[in-house]
Amino acid sequence: MTANSNHTPGPWEIGGPYPGVSVIHMVDSGSHDEPPMYEPIAHLWDYRNGQAPAEVEANARLIAAAPDLLAVLEECADYIASAHTNYNPFVIDARAAIEKAKGQ
C-alpha cells in the first residue's frame, strides 16, 4: 500500500456538528469534558433547505469511503501485479483509477 498521499487521512465519516450532510474526519475524539473535534472534508447538503435527497446521501457515503477504497485498490493492484504482471488489464485499470484519485 502506498502511504504517500496528499489527502486528509481516513477514516472519513458522515456527520459531525454541521447541519446537513457533511463528510468529516475526526481529529480528536474528545473527552468527558470536551466534545470531539472534526475537520470537514465536504459539505453536500444543508438541511435548513429541506431533507437531503437519497442521491446526496449516497454521494456522501461514497466520498466517506474514498480513503479506504484507494488503500484497498492499491493493495489489490500490487498483489495482482506481483502474482501476474503489470500488464494485466485489472492492474492497468486499477493503476489508472489510482492516478486519477491522486491527480497524477
Domain segments of the chain as ranges: 13-102
How far apart CA 58 and CA 74 sit, in angstroms, is 23
CA separation, residue 99 to residues 30, 32, 92, 95 (Å):
35, 42, 11, 6
> At 97, is the pLDDT very low, low, confident or very high (cuts 50, 70, 90)?
very high
pLDDT of residue 70: 95
Q: Is 91 exposed, middle or buried (0-12, 13-18, 19+ CB in 10 A)?
A: buried
pLDDT of residue 5: 60
How far apart CA 19 and CA 45 sit, in angstroms, is 8
Instruction: Give pLDDT tens digits for 36-82.
Output: 888 888 888 766 667 778 888 899 999 999 999 999 999 999 998 88
Sequence-ordered list of residues with C-beta below 8 angstroms from that of 50, at least 6 positions apart, any chain = none
DSSP label at 48?
G
Which grid coordinates are listed for 30? 474528545
Instruction: Give pLDDT tens digits for 6-32.
Output: 888 888 998 877 767 888 888 887 788
Which pTM was predicted?
0.77
pLDDT of residue 2: 42
The answer to whether the CB of 56 falls within 8 A of the CB of 44 is: yes
> At 1, is the pLDDT very low, low, confident or very high (cuts 50, 70, 90)?
very low
